[in-house]
Amino acid sequence: MSVELTIDRLGAQGDGIAETPGGPLFVSFTLPGERIMAELARDGRHADCLAVLDASRERVAPVCPHFGACGGCSLQHLETQTYLAWKRDIVLQALASRGLDVLVEPVRAVPLGSRRRATFFLERRGKDAVLGYRRARSHDTIEVDVCPILSPAIVAALPALKAVLLPLLGGRPEARVSITETETGLDVVMKGAPPPETALAKLAGTAGAQGIARITVGDESVMLTPPSLRLGRAEVRLSPGAFLQASPAAEAEMVALVRAGVGKAKRVADLFSGLGTFSFALAERASVDAYENSAEALAALEDAARRTPKLKPMRGHRRDLFQDPLGWQELKSFDALVFDPPRAGAAAQSEQLAKSKLKRLVAVSCNPGTLARDLRILVDGGYEITRVTPVDQFLFSSHMEVVVHLRR
């Protein structure tokens, strides 16, 4: 059924929200103040915009021809400064929900074309296939030939990658494909499709010609060049599908903020350290103890630390900080601490930090909601929030990173 709606506000995920007698309706790709014609979805909570009758003055032309069909971006149609203010407001609202009234700096956004990793879907279509993103609110895949947020090297490689990967589908209808641009070439991980016998081995010559450093399917890999990236002075060799920050530009911003937050500390703990995004930068000035539960990430960090000269001492510790957080007494030997947990946050670890005597903390988070919860624990324990900086490395979406400085 088609209805006329007026969009009242933007939701937390970037959808326009129209308040109706039956409750709010979420309408993608619309803006506050717009009058639209929409088709109601069966769930009674969503609607699809059919036409914009009165457009917002803040509506702009999207930078991608796939916008509106592709489900990857939700806000390319919103004027830049309004978009950044909306993202900052997400952080402000999350903090306010926990009674935290603090200054939040303007959002620092990365440039277009700077994202170095993305997940695609390879979907069989007869004898051919499409390699692309999911269509908005759908399980269909749309072919991607342009993606302004992605590194040009990844976009340029997609047609050849499709040809390389299609034989690996076997009899499966589709597979998830993660692509990461590294210093030595593309690192490709294909899930959901066990490789036909010998198929991977046959790809060695073809893959190298397409700038692929490694292809991994299941537990099997063909590696032409070890994928690696530089973190500070260190060259870190990556395991298949290793987690790293989505954008080198955002990583540089976050590293600078973390270094500023620990100041002149001589011994620093880096919790949820991963590959060492912050550890290696910090080890140029201070000794670092890195705590991480992933054996593969920790092994990569320790290997790189051994091969990198002119660093202060670095020590790796495998530890599940959710089940076994560092106790407040264990924290006595550190001058400062950095923690960058997954989206679930670090409530248990924050409880221990709140009991500690550490003078400087830096919290890094990709989830403003769990970040605000953890900050409330720390503030109640006597810490003061001195700086909050959002970093937008997920352009045109509701996601972002936030770096927070705290002191006693």
Question: Catalytic residues, which ones?
Answer: 366
The residue with tokens 């900086």 is 389
184, 214 in Cβ contact below 8 A? Answer: no
**Residue that the structure tokens 């879907």 belong to:** 121
CB-count exposure of residue 201 (10 Å: 0-12, 13-18, 19+): exposed
Across 4-16, b (16+ Cβ under 10 Å) vs e yields: ebbbeebeeebbb
Radius of gyration of the chain (CA): 23
Query: How far is residue 322's CA from residue 303's CA, in Å, rounded to a whole number?
Result: 25
**Cα(253)–Cα(270) distance, integer angstroms:** 17
Token couple for 384: 């003061």
- The pair phi, psi for residue 289, each rounded to 5°, is -110, 115
Q: Which residues contact 305 (CB under 8 A, 6 or more apart)?
A: 234, 276, 280, 283, 311, 314, 316
Location of structure tokens 């903020």: 257
Q: Where in 141-183 does DSSP place strands (E)?
A: 141-143, 174-182
User: Whole-angstrom Cα distance, residue 145 to residue 361?
Assistant: 43
Task: Give me the sheet containing 9-10, strands edge to edge.
Answer: 2-6, 35-40, 46-54, 23-27, 16-20, 9-10
Closest CA to 281 of 307, 262, 296, 298: 262
Buried b (16+ CB within 10 A) or exposed e, 40-74: beeeeebbbbeebeeebebbeebebebbeebbbbb
List helix spans (H) across 241-367: 248-262, 279-282, 295-307, 347-355
